[in-house]
Amino acid sequence: MKEKLVDQLLDYFMQEDKRLENIKIPSNYQEKRTLLHGIINIRSPYPISEDILKLEDKLLSLEQQETSIIDQKDIKVIEPPLALWLGDITKLKIDAIVNPANSALLGCFIPNHNCLDNQIHTKAGIRLRLACNDLMRQKEEPVGNAEITKAYNLPCKYIIHTVGPMITKKVTEKDEELLASCYKSCLDLARKNNIKTIAFPTISTGVFSFPKDLASKIAVRTVRNYIKENPNSFDKIIFSVYTKEDKVYYDRLF
């Protein structure tokens, strides 16, 4: 079933984009799936038929059924309502996850890139890029702000997109303020939308090069202060880290 869906989607996208006309479709399923992943990554948010979107929804649904979904209820609270979890944030069944986005908010256009922005858009599906495009209307999202969309094919209900500061030299006081603003903006938006459980990745510590140790301190301090000022607003706030190195920084803060 999955291979048939991949073949149908590849056939459509190869015909849609003339840049792909000389690409040979591999015979191996996994190579086909990787090719489809990359093609969807580079696709601009042009209108697309609902039939094609339904085919992708079906493929992503089948893939999710083969994935170990983690219910936020199974993640232990360390310091109410805060929790720390080492794992893949795209597998969390939770009200909302936070996407560390770029200023266009359209996802990563680098084929098969391993950044979290790419992973979230890929697993949510084309509908997410289309929704972000409708939301942004070619404007750029200011650093430190946040926007919300549905999560489409992810197990969470919503995605809150925020743009963190990019570090090119030394971290400035302004950079620290902007990173803190990312967390506050996400929490404000979550409260506004009656979101009670939310998971944060390590914002700006990947390709945006914010030092991980300092970023973790800002994240925990900002969220703790927010909870003090807005008690009982959340049932659980998860710091979702992807590497053991990241977890060490957060462990020290708890």
Same-domain status, 103 and 168: yes
Using DSSP, state whether 216 is helix, strand or coil. Answer: helix
Same-domain status, 24 and 143: no
pLDDT at 29: 97
Same-domain status, 145 and 233: yes
Containing structural domain, residue 21 = 2-65
pLDDT at 67: 95
pTM for the structure as a whole? 0.96
Rounded to whole angstroms, the Cα distance separating 219 from 208 reads 15
Where do the DSSP E strands lie in 163-251? 197-200, 236-241
pLDDT at 140: 93
Write out the two tokens for 128. Answer: 């997410």
Q: Which of the listed residues 19, 46, 65 is the one where a domain comes to its end?
A: 65
pLDDT at 137: 84
> What stretches in the chain show pLDDT beneath 50?
none
Same-domain status, 139 and 248: yes
Same-domain status, 125 and 143: yes
Same-domain status, 98 and 60: no
How many domains does the structure of the chain reveal? 2
Q: Which of the listed residues 65, 85, 120 is the one where a domain comes to its end?
A: 65
Same-domain status, 102 and 48: no
Same-domain status, 51 and 92: no
Q: What is the CA radius of gyration of the chain?
A: 19
Same-domain status, 61 and 84: no
Query: Which of 125, 128, 64 is closest to 91 using CA atoms?
Result: 64
pLDDT at 186: 98
Rounded to whole angstroms, the Cα distance separating 5 from 19 reads 22
Q: Which of the listed residues 65, 86, 106 is the one where a domain comes to its end?
A: 65
